């Protein structure tokens, strides 16, 4: 959502890479292209997504994180293989988990979501308040 804004490219991604020691936060791989990915928490009743932080993904973990897109682009076998390897699952279980995740995503996509950002992230990166549909946290009195 921040697109090519300097805070994303220079500050957030750089900080996340340094904190992860230039390794994937999920599988610990240090090989290939690393992507900075958002970590979200979801309140399905209030339709509010909360940005909790950032993590670094290798190309395979990024495909898993975006499995729907990965399948459309022909990387479905990579997604299933990586899920199985990382979690010691068989293919049937990986497919079941992916189907469930896609069902949750489809249901959530039917709603208009507000966005919150943890106070620690707002303090560190005040530019995050410019996110579309940003919902400020209530001020403690």
C-alpha count within 13 angstroms, C-beta hemisphere, residue 81: 7
Contacts of 97 (CB under 8 A, 6+ apart): 83, 89
> How buried is residue 15: exposed, middle or buried, by Cβ count under 10 Å (0-12/13-18/19+)?
middle
pLDDT at 139: 47
d(CA 52, CA 42): 10
Q: Express each pLDDT in 62-95 by its tens digit.
A: 999 999 999 999 999 999 999 999 999 999 999 9
Q: Express each pLDDT in 25-46 by its tens digit.
A: 999 999 999 999 999 999 999 9
Bridge-based pairing of strands 114-117 and 48-57 is parallel
């Amino acid at each position: 959502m921040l697109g090519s804004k300097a805070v994303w490219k220079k500050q957030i991604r750089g900080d996340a890479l340094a904190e992860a020691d230039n390794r994937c936060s999920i599988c610990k791989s240090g090989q290939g292209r690393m992507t900075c990915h958002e970590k979200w928490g979801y309140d399905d009743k209030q339709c509010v997504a909360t940005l909790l932080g950032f993590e670094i993904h290798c190309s395979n973990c990024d495909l898993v994180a975006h499995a729907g897109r990965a399948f459309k682009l022909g990387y479905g076998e990579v997604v299933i293989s990586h899920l199985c390897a990382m979690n010691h699952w068989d293919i049937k279980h990986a497919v079941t988990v992916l189907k469930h995740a896609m069902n949750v995503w489809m249901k959530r996509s039917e709603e208009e979501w507000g966005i919150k950002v943890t106070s620690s992230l707002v303090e560190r990166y005040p530019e995050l308040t410019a996110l579309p549909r940003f919902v400020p946290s209530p001020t403690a009195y």
